[in-house]
Structure 1
Amino acid sequence: MCYSTLARTVLLLLIAIGCITVHDQVEAQQPGPPSSVAKRALLIGINKYHAVPKLQGSLNDIETMKRVLVSRWGFPEGNIRLLTDEQATRDGMLAALNQFVSETGPLDTVYIHYSGHGSQVADLNGDEPDDQLDETLVPQDGRTGTIPDITDDELDVIFGRLPTKNAFIVLDSCHSGTATRSLDIRTRSVPQDTRIDLYQAAPKQEVQTRGNIQLLPAHFVLMTGAASHQEALDGPVEGRYHGFFSYALSKSLSSTPVGATPREIFRGVETELKRIQTHFGRASMPEPQLEAPPDLLERPLLGAAGSPPSRLAWAEVKPTTPGTITLVNGLLLGAAPGSTWAIYPPGDTAFTPGWALAIATVTHLDGQHAQAKLHPAGKKIQDRSRAVAFLPASAGEKIPIHLLNVPSSQRKQIEQMLQKQIPNLELVGPEQAPRYMVSTQGSTIQLLAADGIQLVGSFDRDGWAAGVAMVVSRSAHASELLTLDNPSSQLKIDLRVANAPAPGKPKVGTRGIAVVAADTQPARYRIRKPGKPRTAENTLQLQVKVNADAYISIVDVDSEGGVNLLFPNDYAKPSFYPEGFVKGGEIVLIPDSLHDSNRAGFYWDYSPPKGMDTVRVFSSTDLETAQMIRQRIKELQASASKTPGKISTRAVGESIDSIREDLVKRAARGIVAISDPTPHQPGLVSTELSTEPGLSPLSDPSNLSDIAVTPESIPPTPAGPVPDWAATSITIKVEG
C-alpha cells in the first residue's frame, strides 16, 4: 500500500483519538457537553520510542500546531487532545481513536495530526497487489516483545465509523525505511517489521481499493509528509526541531487567507519547504501529497464550525519592564531571537498592516516564552495584547559545517583550507546542527547536505576549497535574502517561471479521490551557448501576479553567490511597467517576450557557470519601500564589482540587515498617538479580486472582542498611505 493508504487510514485513526484522558501528560481539560457543531482536534506526537531511534521534533510539531489551531482557527483549547510519548502506545492509540470517533458529531470540524515513525509489514490479506506491503504507524512501544505496529487495515475499520465530512488529516511520517548519517536531520521511518506472526489478517469485511491504495470514505482532506518511497525529515528549523513538513504546514496555516482551500494551503507548504531546501543547500526535498475528492480541493478548509478565525496566528503579550514585553509561548510560533513582531490591541483579529501599536524584536528566550524589546521603547502596551510575526530572524553570520568521516591524516589540511576560503565558517562537532557536511570519497572532496546523505557537490583535489566556498556562500546569501519575509502581509504573490507546464488536473481514482503531489523541485534551465537561439530553455521569463496594485522588485542570488537586481534594470524601456508598477490581479510576463525587439528592452539569458539560482520577488504598495530595497541591492552589487568573486557573507548580511531596519521603521513611521477608534481601510486590495481563490480583502480592524480597550490600546492613525510588502521565491537549477 502506498503512503496514501496508510495516510488515509491513519486519517481516521487519528480522529478516533480525540477524547483520550491519560494522566497529566494530556494537555487539555475535559471537553464540555457535546454541542451540535464543534471544532475538535487530536494531535499525536512521539519522540521517545522504546525500541526504535528517537525523534526530536514530533512534540514540537503538535505543540506548535495546537497554538495555530487555537489562535488562528478558533479551536477551543478544551477540544484539542494531545497524545504524547508514553501515552501513545499501541493500546493507548487504538483506545483513544475509538473514543474520539464515538464523540465526534456529524457537523464537527476535525483536525488530526500524527508526527512520528512509520514503517511497513508484509501484506497478509491481499489488498496490496503492487508492493505486497501494508503501511504502518509505529506506536511508542512498537517493536518490543509481541507489540505489532498499527496497520492501515486496522485503521480503516475504526475510521469507517467517523460521522463527519469536515475532516483534515495530517501524517508527518514515512515508510521507506531510509536513514541518515546526521544526529540532527533524521528520517521518520524504521525498517520493515519482519515479525509476520504478530499480524492478523484484516477483518473479514469488504475492503475497497483503488489500485494499490485502500480507500477511506471519500469525504476527507489528507496531507502526508512524503510519498511512499521518500523520507519525511525531522531536523532543526529556526533553532527548534520540527518535522520539516509539519513546520511548513504550520507556517501556511498561520497566515493563509480566511476561506483558503486545501490547494492554497498546500501551495503555502510548498513555498516554505523550498525555503528550508535553500537554507540547507539540498538539491531536492520530499514531495508531500494532498488527497481529497475533487470538490473538496476547492472548498474552504477548517472553517465549517465555530467562531470566525483570526487573520493570523498570534501570541499573547504581557508587559514586563518599561520598553520590554513577553510573548507568551512565542517560541511555538517561531519567536526566535532576532525575529520581529507587530503588536496589536487585545482582541484584534484583523491585524491590519499599519495599525500595529508597536514593533518588538525578540532578544532572548525564557523556556517557551520570548522576551522582546519594544520600538518605540516608550510605548505602553496593554496586557493581553496580541503579537503577530513581522520578520523572521537573520540567518546569522556563521555557517556551521561538520567534517564527516574524514581521515585524521587529512583533517587538519581540510580544516585550514575551508577556514581560508570561508571566513565565516564554524566547524562543529556531531552534537551540533550543521548546515553542510564535508567528506572524502577516494580522490574527491564531497559537500553533503545536513543529513549527510544528499550530495550537493563533488570536487577534485585541485581547487576543491574554492568550489565548496562558492556553493556554501551562494546558499548563505540566498538564506539571508529569504529572511526578508513578511508573514503579516495582506499581499499575495503568485510567481512561476513562464516555461513551467500549467498545473494539470489531479489524477482521480475509481472512487473519486484526487491525488496532488507537491512540486518541490527547482525549475531547470540550460546555459545559452554562443550562436544558439534564445528559447524558453535558456532564457528566464517570469510570470507574476499580485492581488493588489503594487511595485515589484526582482532580486537574484546567482550560482556564484552574487546578489543582483534583475528588475527594474537600466535596460528596461521606460514604458515597460514604469517603476515596476503592476495592477492588482493582472498576470505580468517579465520580460514580455523572448523574441527580438520585445517591449521590455532586455532579456535574462543564462551564462556560465552552472549551478543553483534563487530569484526573489518583492512587492510593495508604496514606491518608497520598493526604491529602498532596490538601492540597497545596487549598493551591494557596486561593492561586489570592485572585488570580483570576493563578496562576503558578512557584507550580504549587513546589507540585508539594513533593509530589515528600514522595513521596521516604515512599519511604524508617521504614527500620531490619538484616541480616535474610527475604522480606517487603506484600500490596498482590488475589490474585484475579493472572490478569487486565495485572495482576501482587507480585514476590518474594528473586529475586536469584548476585552476592555484603553486609549493606549487603540491603533494609532497612520499619517498617509500605509505601506505593506511581501516576498516570494523560486529556485532554478542552471545546467550546462
Structure 2
Amino acid sequence: MKFIVKLSLVCWIIFISGLPCFGARRALLVGISDYRALPDVVKGRMLSDLRGPINDVKAMEQALLAYGFKKSEIKVLTNQWATRERLEGSFRDWLTDGTGQGDTVVFYFSGHGTQVKDFNGDEKDGLDEVLCPYDTDPKTGNNTIVDDEFGSWLRRLHDRTVVVIVDSCYSGDAIRGIRGVTVSRLETVATTRIKNISFASYNPPPICRGLARGVTDVPPGVVFMGASMEWQPAFEIRRHGSFYGGFTFGLTAKMRELVNPTYGELFDRAKHMVMDGMRLPQTPVMFADARVAKRPAFGGKVYESPIPKPDIEKREKVLVAMEPGEGGGDQDFWAIRKALSRLDFVRLCQSSDFFDRLLQVEKKSDGFSAKLINRIGDVEYLNTSSVDDLIQKLKKRLEYAYTVKNLSRITNPRPPFRIHLWLQDEDRRDFWVGERIGFKVKSERDAYILIINVDTEGNFHIIFPNKYQKENLVRAGVIYSFPDPHACGFQIGEPVGEELVKVIATDRPLNLEALGPNNFESYFNEAGVISMPRGIGGTVLNNIGSTLSSGRFAWSEDSLVIRSHKQP
C-alpha cells in the first residue's frame, strides 16, 4: 500500500466523507480461530490456530451495541463460514450493495495475517500485507485478501462513513528493540500467541500485478489506527480466563469505559492499555486529520454499560509456575519449590494455568541456570551457584512483580476526571542503561498528584513531590515536565529490567505521613526522591488503596512501563 504514512492493515481504516452521519448502519464482523489447513509446518515453523477471534467478535458486537447498532444491523462470519468467497460476497452484498450515501459501515476482522512479495511496485518495502480467511492455503498462499484488492473494495464505499478494524499482524518475530536494534527475543508461552502465518510459496492474484503505480490501495480521506507497526507482531492474550486479541481487548474495554469518546481519545487510551497495561511489544499507530480525530467515535455513544468497581484494597499474590530443565534432579527442583512457597507474597501454580511468572531451572556443573519469564514472554536470565543464591535473586524480582501487580490494581475505570502520564519520547518503552528520560503529566482539572516508581527489585520510590518540588498541585490543562525541563532528566541505571511509573491525582492533597512513612523526609535519597524498601513501600501501597476507596476523594490515575537494557 502507498499512503501518506506507511502503515499496515493491522488498523482501523476510517473513510470520512463530508456528509453528516444520519443514515443506516451496517457492520460485518469476521473472526477465525480454527483454520481449515492448520496446524501445519511451513519453512520449519509450526503454524497454529488461534484462540481469541471468536471472543473478539463477541466483544466487538457488544461494544457496537453501546454505540447505537442493532443486532439486526450486525452480520457475523466465524471459522468455516468465513471463507474467502463468503467474506468477499458478504462485503459486497451486506456492506457495498446494502448501504448507500450517508450510511455508516463497519468491517471487523480478527485472524491471521502475513506479508508477501509486492508484484506491482506500490510498496516501498517491497511487501504487500495480507488477510487470511478460513480457507487460506499456507503452502501456496491461495484464498487470501491482499491489501491492493482490499483497497479496491473500499473504493466502492464512497459517500459513506466506513470503519475497518483489523486485528492481525504481518511479522512473526516476537522481539523488543531500540531504534532498530533487537534487545530481547520473547519466549513462547501458553498465555500468548502471535497472529501471523507464513507461506511456502505465493502466486499473487491478477489485481496485485495489474494496478498501476501511484494508485493507492485505500481511497483518499482515510484515518488509520494500527494495532502494531507492520514489522511488529500483534498478540492475542489471556484475560479473565479467555483469549482475546490484545488490541481488540484494549479497544473494546475503552469503548465500554469511556464516556462518549472521540476517535482520538479512544485510540490514545487503547494504545496506552496495549503498551502499558498489557505490556505488549507492539505500538499502535494513528494517522488522522485533527478535525476527524475530534469527532465522537462511531457517531456517539447511546448508553453507558455498567463497569464493575475494582477492589483496590485487595492484595493478590504473585502466581509462579515452575518447569524443570535438563540436568536438574527432583531434589533440587523440590528444594526451590519449597523455598518459594515460604515467601508470603508468592502462590505456586501449574504452568498450564494463568501465571504471572514462569520459572525454568536447569542444573549446571557449577550451579543453576534459570529463566524467569513473564506472561508475555519477556525473560530474565539468572545464573547462580546454589539454591540459596537463586532464591535470593528470585525474591527481589518476585517482590517487584508483587508490588507492580497490586499497584496496578489501584485503578479507576470511569474517573470523574482524567490524568495523563507519558514519556517525553512518547512511543518508546525500551532504553539503554545510561540514557536519560523524562515524564510529562496533564490533568483535566486542578489536582494534587503523586508520582510513584517501582524499580526492578521492587523498591518503592515517590519521585514527586520530592525534596526540591514539594508543591504538588497541578493546574487543569497545563503540561508539566518531570524532572524540571532545565534539569538533566532521570538516568536509566542498573540492574536492568522492567520498572513501573504511576501517577495518582486527587482533588485534595494526600497526607504522605498518614500513608505510612513517618518522618518521610528521612527517606530522601541523593536525588531528593523518597525511596523505601518493599516492606515500607508495601505499607504505603496498602494505605493508598484504603484511602482512595474510602470515597473521600475524587481521583484518577495513569501508569506506564519502561524497560532497561545493557548495550551490546
TM-score range, shorter chain: 0.7 to 0.9
Deviation digits for residues 646-670 of structure 1, max 9, x if unmatched?
8479x94x8656644543441xx7x
1:492 alignment counterpart = 418
TM-score by length of 2: 0.78
Contact 1:544 1:587 survives alignment (8 Å) = yes
Match of 1:391 in 2: 310
Q: Deviations over 1:303-362 (max 9, x none)?
A: 54xxx425x841xxxxxxxxxxxxxxxxxxxxxxxxxxxxxxxxxxxxxxxxxxxxxxxx
**2:353 — aligned with what?**
432
- The alpha-carbon distance between structure 1 residues 2 and 390, as it changes in their structure 2 partners (threshold 3 A), is farther
**Amino acid in structure 2 at the alignment position of 1:191:** S
Q: How does 1:477-626 map to 2 (within 5 A)?
A: 477-497=403-423, 500-501=424-425, 519=427, 521-522=429-430, 526=434, 537=435, 542-569=439-466, 571-572=467-468, 576-577=470-471, 580-592=472-484, 609-623=495-509, 626=510
Correspondence for 1:200 among 189, 193, 205: 205
Cα shift at 1:290: 2.4
Question: Any idea what the Cα deviations from partners look like across 1:189-233, whole Å, max 9, x if unmatched?
Answer: 11225253xx432167644548xxx53102232323222222111
* Aligned residues of 1:44 and 1:115 also touching (Cα < 8 A): yes
Specify the code of the residue in structure 2 equivalent to 1:725.
W
- Which residue does the alignment assign to 2:81? 87
Query: How far does the alpha carbon of each residue in 1:113-145 deviate from its partner, in whole angstroms, 9 at most, with x for none?
Result: 21111123444x333555544322221232289
Q: Does 2:526 align with 1:724?
A: no
2-side partners of 1:140 and 1:633: how far apart? 57
Equivalent of 2:92, from 85, 93, 98?
Answer: 98
Per-residue deviation, 1:494? 2.6
Mapped partners of 2:116, 2:351: distance in 1 = 33
In structure 2, distance between residues paired with 1:235 and 1:412: 34
SS state of the match for residue 421, structure 2?
strand
Distance in 2, Cα, partners of 1:605 & 1:61? 40
Paired with 1:636 and 1:557, the residues of 2 have a C-alpha distance of 21
> Aligned residue for 1:445?
370
SS in 2 for 1:98: helix
2:548: which partner in 1?
663
Query: Are residues 1:183 and 2:190 paired?
Result: yes
Partner of 1:471: 397
Letter paired with 2:189: S
Give the equivalent residue in structure 1 for 2:129: 135
SS in 2 for 1:267: helix
Does the 8 Å CA contact 1:564/1:634 hold for their aligned counterparts?
no
Q: Which of 22, 28, 32 is the equivalent residue of 1:42?
A: 28
Q: Could you tell me whether the CA contact under 8 Å between 2:257 and 2:307 is conserved in 1?
A: no
Q: How does 1:170-319 map to 2 (within 5 A)?
A: 170-178=165-173, 181-194=188-201, 196=203, 199-202=204-207, 206-209=211-214, 215-256=217-258, 258=260, 260-262=262-264, 264-277=265-278, 285-292=281-288, 294-295=289-290, 298-304=293-299, 308-309=300-301, 313-314=304-305
Q: CA deviation at 1:548?
A: 0.4
Q: What are the ranges of 5 or more consecutive residues in structure 2 without an aligned counterpart?
A: 39-47, 175-186, 525-530
User: How many residues are paired up?
Assistant: 522
Cα distance change, pair 469–8 in 1 and its aligned pair in 2 (3 A): closer
Matched, 1:456 2:456: no
Q: CA deviation at 1:606?
A: 6.7
8 Å CA contact 1:178–1:189 kept in 2: the answer is no
CA contact (8 A) 1:251 1:272 kept: no
Q: Give me the whole-angstrom Cα distance separating, in 2, the residues matched to 1:9 and 1:487.
A: 25
Aligned-residue CA RMSD (Å)? 4.0
Separation in 1, partners of 2:301, 2:134: 34
| 1:671-691 deviations in Å (ceiling 9; x for gaps) | xxxxxxxxxxxxxxxxxxxxx
Q: Sort the Cα spacing of 1:113 and 1:225 in 2 relative to 1 into closer, same or farther, 3 A.
A: same
In structure 1, distance between residues paired with 2:314 and 2:37: 36
Partner Cα separation in structure 2 for residue 83 and residue 611 of structure 1: 42
Please report how far the alpha carbon of residue 636 of structure 1 lies from its aligned counterpart in structure 2 after TM superposition: 13
Instruction: Give 1:435 deviation, angstroms.
Output: 2.4
What is the DSSP-based 3-state SS (H/G/I as helix, E as strand, rest coil) of the residue aligned with 1:7?
coil
* Structure-2 change in CA distance of 1:126 and 1:595 (3 Å): closer
Cα distance in structure 2, aligned partners of 1:61 and 1:427? 30
For 1:5 and 1:300, the matched residues in 2 are separated by: 22
Q: Distance in 2 between matches of 1:560 and 1:6?
A: 37
Shift of 1:544: 2.0
Deviations 1:85-116 (A, max 9, x none): 22212222111111212223332233332111
Contact 2:120–2:211 (CA under 8 A) maintained in structure 1: no
- 1:461 is displaced (CA, Å) by 4.2
- 2:355 partner amino acid: P
CA offsets 1:522-547 (integer angstroms, 9 cap, x no match): 46663xxxxxxxxxx55x65432211
Shift of 1:591: 4.7
Whole-angstrom CA distance in 1 between matches of 2:516 and 2:101 = 55
Write the distance in 2 (CA, Å) between the matches of 1:288 and 1:636: 44
Aligned-partner Cα distance in 1 for 2:60–2:36: 25
Mapped contact 2:316–2:406 kept (Cα < 8 A): no
1:409 paired residue number: 328
- Sequence identity of aligned pairs in percent? 21
User: Given the two structures, how large is their TM-score scaled by the length of structure 1?
Assistant: 0.62
Q: Over residues 156-210 of structure 1, what are the superposed CA-to-partner deviations in whole Å (9 max), with x where a residue is unaligned?
A: 22222012453232211112234763232111111225253xx432167644548
What SS does structure 2 have at the residue aligned with 1:566? Answer: strand
Pair 145,10 (structure 1): closer, same or farther in 2 beyond 3 Å: farther
Determine helix, strand or coil for the equivalent of 1:559: coil
CA distance in 2, matches of 1:589, 1:97: 48
